[in-house]
Structure 1
């Protein structure tokens, strides 16, 4: 039976009014499994504090499990700080910190499973002021972008503020009067929604009830439904409670997921060359599942690639971005090798397809076909994942403005060594390809020699400190920039590593393939053979020469931070499982890097 969920807009501390309504709905149409609240949860004036605190202190009861992300308002810092310090809330708890019985604070950002549903969230609002509660950080955004790379479909995505542009391509008659995109809207939310592709996106803060027509997602068969909710007790009597009963995507077939309504529109967050009326949009999207995924193929300008064809001949976005297309010869769009090569160098798809880009200077891709084949990969403007959002810069490309070069320890020809951001332990490092590659096993055989040197050097370095090292890597089919993580542990705990990984796998319902190899090179040959481009992989190289490997199925729930979480548990450092809790200032990071460099210098293969 599908879970039954209640959704609520800004509570504003009016818990008496909220839970009276929830109890009534639960009695007449329930029972419901949980209540999810978006927008400001805490009071906006001290007048409501007495009634509010009655629930926090246990004098009044909360009728069903309630989760909130609007961690701002009167007394929010005091109450939430106390919850953070509660011993019951220690450790890695994406499923919420318990504030009181049946009330949970979804802190920062994350993803958890609620009655079978995959729920992602971004707590707080966007702000230039850094404060502990009430605003989200860049780390919270980056964590959600990492979650977007994980396999499986997110059922519900909770944010406080609205995504900019959500009414684009929507039926004008359905848009509430007075709705403004300039107030209470956040372009960062739009970018995240475009990457995460949730089945439902629920928001608050504007005090307006608005349910948009479902819209198609690029590179996904399912649609997204947007729900904006009004405030509890609003004077206009707009709807602030909404009930849904979605079947978890993890239990649905591809056919069920691909079902669309006759009112399905194209995505409101992506730019196209020609303006399309709502009527035309509806017709186009209802023609078929496959066509709705290829919204980018608008009329083609004659100012194209020199090898391009005439008007109406359109490029296949799937082929240009990934090098393959599941529709093969049945695809209605052109599989152009030249366009694929330009795309790999970071040329804008709209520029390739139409000869121009509507985004202009706001586009992060190149608007030139200039050949850069002789440039070193680290200096190419396009050394980043084509599948990433256009506004998302790769964290690991040396040419990226977002690369934190002060974390770099040693640079070779094909790989470089860097301190991990938010390290689990202070000498937790990453081996990263210089070129933007999806995995280290997909690198050339020639470059493997340099990787072996880095791995052997780290093994010797840690061994002289009476430590063993575990290497692990998450290979996502979405093609993020590869990074091989290296985490040292005390030699006395090395014998427990395989058991720890196996126990964690058992809890998630899978078993590792375990193979022992006499040398690193033999193990790497085995890993190369496992890459099929169809499924994501996780592997760990553990002390003794054993490789633990798991092929991650498309709908399988598997955290990209799995390796770190396992080792955090083994080292009794559950609080450090989330890298965002291990924040250091830039000066502190630079000192950690310098300390590591000075000790590692005699082992460094590049010295």
Structure 2
């Protein structure tokens, strides 16, 4: 049985950092010693204007970041309902969370495992329905809101126990990766700024009077069902309004009684504001809460709390409609009158059809339209000629002569010439999804499949928390990324190598085809929040440089390629990565470029004239395919959502270029585990001297 951890949880400090630290020390001296403090809600408060900061003389945020405002005990803080100051965001990006000694900023949607094994999940920001469903990427600390992708990221990472610089030390070896993996999504503590919508159900504890009847955010209900926290702390107003003051409210505990719940009890506590205003009735809201908790899941034999209520997240609360509401919905139906059907809201627009407050088109900075409707995006570049009809004035996706709407032999979209269905071998008649063979197997077909099934980290091929991940192929682990050999690499090795070894055309130990993968789960590189991206991009570039130098030792140079593609629901289960393949230096850059251009031309793929401009558009949420040639030149193709793009395009080009056309399908190139291990060990031994910049070079 793990020793209990004593925690002091605190409400929003709203920038009164010095006073809060003084109060923490007083409470700790009187009631401690606490293992750490959990600061919920707004720690820094509203952003200050530059003039206000100068008037303040000694800005407390600057003093904190410089280490001149020491914390009395270890403190974990989060983002509340306001954007974080730029200096804080920059410090987080640089250190991974450690703002100064004993003060750690948790990710906006992340999981921290403390030294005692306590699992703390954090969801920062506030809820705005239009922004929640419309964000093109997960908002970072510079935004006061969280989105659907923010919640999904927290859920996808709930099996991974790192979130701060301090915790990333867990990923310094394969053994520690395996030991840090968890078989459960359940957490000990969840901290959010907003309330779940149904948390008040079945509770007999009086609620404060509110200006509106709305309480909480519905998306948090599913989050609670998935994480099942033993303690859940919130610091925002019950109705999520900035006009309403946060209140102290402790709900009766409730129990998860299903087969997976193990009888664990959950408690929800809302905290008031530190040094908050005195209400009209003269009663200040309680702003701190001390408790002890044993790390790990509760035992199924744990005694049910005597005051436990029904679980509001698993049981349906009967709701009676007020007479006024019923009356307002009635009309001229023969029973009820003129019943008005609910108007279906557009997914992202406000009532006036414009983007929500705070939205800015990343293409032209306009606040009047979304990026998909940006006039600049619709214009073809100067000199552009449509490759379908050879007429200028429109992009290929807008070509009136396009055959993308043509119907195939099974009623779905007609494939391009040369496409062969992998299920039945039909050429040019239908895509795989529309194949009758797939339909008969229960695979959907005909474009009538349901919504894509959500894929968690336990199924993601690249998440370190996946127990089925081929960890024996990993060759290097850094602070933000890791390098691994893929299954079925392009370069033939071991039993797949040609009898004449010289015909393999490369001499890199272990083959040399590797992937650079961010440790944290992001669907694509352009979905990484801007405030979290710099250290990931920096380490990716370091790995690319190390690979260049390593390959050069073996008379080879690299080609890097990446597919950044989001589906309608954010490409759940896809994990960002960059592929790197060594080519013999006898293959000049011009030959490699021509190979990509030639293959692209034959498949109707167009590389953009300005690669950097195309990548800037990709940063706005567009899908793209990118190649970096041996000399560093970039080639970019923007993937139109309505036009198919073969996921193996990059591999197809390189297998043809190297003379291994039969290796285009990785599944036919896999080796047994013993041979894979031998390749990984050979690569690590050679690659090790070239990654001295990381604290964890391959051994």
* TM-score under structure 1 length normalisation: 0.48
Task: Name which one, 1 or 2, has greater alpha-carbon Rg.
Answer: 2
Structure whose residues are more often helix by fraction = 1
